[in-house]
Structure 1
Amino acid sequence: MRYRPELDLAIRNLSLSTRRFEKIGIVGRTGAGKSSLTYALMRMVEPASGYIRIDGVDISTVDLQDLRTQISVIPQDPVLFEGTIRDNLDPAHEYSDEQVWSAIHAGQLSHLLDTPTEVFVSEDIADEDTFDDDDLDDDFQKGPWIEGVGLNKWVDYGGSNFSIGQRQLISLCRALLWRRKIVILDEATASMDAKTDGIMQDVIRREFEECTVLTIAHRLNTVMDSDRIIVMDQGQVVEFDTPQNLLLNSASHFSQLVRSKAT
């Protein structure tokens, strides 16, 4: 896989397979090619040669939209849209309120939705002649400002009224709602404090038991309970084994990464 024809391969000589519902950690130094795996799986960049198969089907033969509806990505800096929490979790309004709340509770996000957010409504909209109370949900109050709580909690453009860690929890709840067969965490906890990181790891272990989970991480403790770990270097997989086996080999790349983080 290469990003432009004139560039060197970003990933090369890669051959591996994962088991059903396996939890895979992906580590390596900056520029090793970890995130390139995500781009390849999502077909954001097509392979220069070879193929990727999901459930035995070559993904190059699958409609792009159909492919991406099988994969949830929780990135380091999630994209949130201006609107309500509900709009962000379920943009197409495919799920019931009960299903959305179930995902919110599973992702331990409900405490963030208790505090009202104030949203300015322009005077022409708030005018009694043009503004119908029926247009408002029960959680809203009419006036020049509308206070939103619960599913109506307001999200500013880009999620600027939430911290990075909170935005990642919202992205996690989105993945919990969608329940896709593959979940990719691309440095999802890199900007989190240790407490929020721990919350996310607990949720992932509990709620994604029946998903294949790929966790790309700089924090090695994030992947220590993975079933197996991929170690990448210069676009190649140099090791692929259980964390226990990799740590037992003091000469392994993974052991060297662990020691370098400890110093």
Structure 2
Amino acid sequence: MPADAALVQAKWPQDECSLVFEDVCVRYLPHLPRALDGFSVSLKDREKDGLVGRTGSGKSTVMGTLFRLMELESGRILFGGVDIAGVGIGHLRRQITIVPQDPILFSGELRKNLDPLGVRTDAEVWAALKGCSLCVLVESLEGGLSAKVAEGGINFSVGERSVLCLARALLRESRVLCLDEATANVDPTNDKRIQEVLSQGLQDCFVLTIAHRLHTVLTCDRILVLERGYLAQSGPPASLLAQPGIFKELANQAGIYNVISDAPLPMQAEGEEVKSI
């Protein structure tokens, strides 16, 4: 697209940029209520945000609008000052990466899974693996980076697949990373790996995390609480826990009463069903 060529020349998005949702309304079908109803929020550069809300509140729809999986009924989304509706899909999606709740690897070499386009050097791939504490795991595989991945990645655990998908996201160097609670069904070891990457290895991008377990977003810069498609609450976790509202209700249900606690929070066993919030 001609517009994309201009964006590339302007080095969009710039190092310092914002992500703004302006009165965004989305309706999946004409006879259904709005999935997003006047959703508005302005996110600062490199901000880490947790999306929280009960089932059906609109959390996944927010991420869907970023990828332009659906047309907006009204409103707009500005990324780096540019309305993403005018950006080519391919160019836009190169700026955004998602690590889904059910991570999938495709059959073939492990390296191909991590760097599908083959644009990274082996040193860069190993650096991403080191950042996710995966070097020992990969070195133990027959063939290392050339190790074979079974269809769907079933020769790796759910936790290992999640962290490998996160390593792939790091290699893409996208400006926005979306996590659909990538730790929802992850074992404690890999959960720790992911949390360390989120807190230390993603300093140059926005991170939006859909929370199915509240403790995974307690270190975010800001919590965005959705209710029936609109922004019901917004603020740092400690502030929201200190005031009446949906977030405090959900936290109380989860047994969370303050952001910093000496008591360890219960971990989710791999394969155990997660109750959506």
Same fold (TM over 0.5): yes
The corresponding residue for 2:143 is: 149
Counterpart of 1:77 in structure 2 is 102
Conserved 8 A contact 2:163-2:193: no
The residue number in structure 2 matching 1:133 is: none
What is the match of residue 41 of structure 1?
66
1:76 Cα deviation after fit: 0.6
- Pairing partner for 1:88 from 97, 106, 113: 113
SS in 2 for 1:221: helix
TM-score if structure 2 supplies the norm length? 0.81
In the TM superposition, residue 19 of structure 1 has moved relative to its aligned partner by: 0.3
1:22-74: per-residue Cα shift (whole Å, max 9, x none)? Answer: 11111111221111111110001121111011011000000000000001111
Structure 1 outlier segments of 4+, above 4 Å: none
* DSSP-derived class of the 2:152 partner: helix
In structure 2, the residue matched to 1:231 is 225
d(CA) in 2 for partners of 1:149 and 1:115?
9
How does 1:83-232 map onto structure 2 within 5 Å? Answer: 83-116=108-141, 148-232=142-226
Match of 1:257 among 247, 250, 265: 250
Q: Within the alignment, does 1:58 sit opposite 2:67 as a pair?
A: no
Over residues 134-171 of structure 1, what are the superposed CA-to-partner deviations in whole Å (9 max), with x where a residue is unaligned? Answer: xxxxxxxxxxxxxx421111111111111111110110
Q: Normalising by structure 1, what TM-score? A: 0.85
Deviation for aligned residue 1:2: 1.8
8 A Cα contact 1:107 1:176, kept in partner: no
Question: Is the Cα contact below 8 Å between 1:181 and 1:210 reproduced in 2?
Answer: yes
Q: Is the 8 A contact 2:50 2:222 kept in 1?
A: yes
Alpha-carbon RMSD = 1.3
Shift in Å, 1:190? 0.4
CA contact (8 A) 1:182 1:211 kept: yes
Q: How does 1:238-253 map to 2 (within 5 A)?
A: 238-249=232-243, 251-253=244-246
Do the aligned residues in 1 keep the contact of 2:47 with 2:207 (CA within 8 Å)? yes
Give the count of matched residue pairs.
231
* Secondary structure class of the residue paired with 1:226: coil
What is the one-letter code of the residue matched to 2:242? L
**Considering only CA atoms, is the larger Rg found in Structure 1 or Structure 2?**
1
- Distance between the aligned counterparts of 2:155 and 2:33, measured in 1? 40
Structure of greater relative contact order (alpha carbons < 8 Å, 6+ residues apart): 1
Separation of aligned partners in 2, 1:79 and 1:49: 33
The Cα offsets for residues 199-248 of structure 1, whole Å up to 9 and x where unpaired, read as 21111111101111111111111110111100111222100111111111
Structure 1 residue ranges without an equivalent (≥5):
117-147
Residue in structure 2 matching 1:4, options 22, 29, 41: 29
Kept after mapping to 2: 8 A contact 1:184/1:214: yes
Per-residue deviation at 1:195? 3.0
Partner SS state of residue 238, structure 1:
strand
Deviations 1:107-133 (A, max 9, x none): 1112222334xxxxxxxxxxxxxxxxx
Identity %: 42
> Which position in structure 1 is the counterpart of 2:56?
31
